[in-house]
Amino acid sequence: MTSRPIKILGIPGSLRQQSYNRGLINAAQEVAPQGVEVTMYLLHDLPLYNADVEAEGDPAEVTRFKNAIAEADAILIATPQYNASVPGVLKNAIDWASRRPRTGGDSVLADKPVAIVGVTPGKSFTEPAQIDLRKILKFTKSRVMPEPQVKLGAAPDRYSENPELPDEETRQQIRAALDALVEFITVAEAKAAAAD
């Protein structure tokens, strides 16, 4: 481990200002352990994926998104569930990020450690969305952290005091996920170093 901060890119899968899932990223920023820096990345400005556009060179916002992923030690995705799966907004962002550079080599998602969390008002606990997201991120060759799986229901209750920050219990679950993610990154780095 170096002494530089561990950089985690937090991506809410919803664009709503008071999105419960954006609230999970707010929580991650608040409870991040010492030496861990959580930056929020909002997906509002990404265009729809279009290979004709890509062929003329990545739009500036796509470059910004890919760079943010490349520079992060890990990604924390907070996914809502829309129509029994991942929001189109989030999938579209992954579709852009999954593209390899024209100069060759892997995409910025390859080998990237990723933690997934999700909260919903409904009774699915975002389970179907998280299953699909794991499948998608397996295809992008990302390293998805297996445990803890943070799948939360009863969203309104968790935000009864503050619409943008969940209650203490939820924040502790996010903290536990961050602790596990730091461990997961460290193990991944040690393995990479050992393979050198």
Interaction residues for a second copy, span 98-157 (CB under 8 A): 98, 128, 132, 135-136, 138-140
Taking the C-alpha atoms of 85, 128, 143 and 119 in order, what is their torsion angle to the nearest 10 degrees? 90
How many other C-beta atoms lie within 10 A of the C-beta of residue 95?
A: 15
Instruction: Give min distance, CB of 173 to a second copy, in A.
Output: 24
When binding is defined by CB under 8 A, the residue of 2, 3, 4, 44 that contacts a second copy is 44
The stretch among 43-51, 71-79, 110-118, 169-177 that binds a second copy (CB under 8 A) is 43-51
User: How does DSSP assign 89-123, residue by residue?
Assistant: HHHHHHHHHTSPPTTSS--TTTT-EEEEEEE-SSS
Q: How many residues bind a second copy (CB under 8 A)?
A: 36
Instruction: Give min distance, CB of 94 to a second copy, in A.
Output: 6
Q: Please tell me whether residue 61 binds a second copy under the rule CB under 8 A.
A: no
Closest CA to 130 of 188, 87, 173: 87
Q: ω into residue 148 within 30 of 0, thus cis? A: yes
Q: Applying CB under 8 A, which residues contact a second copy?
A: 14-17, 19, 43-44, 46, 48-53, 82-95, 98, 128, 132, 135-136, 138-140
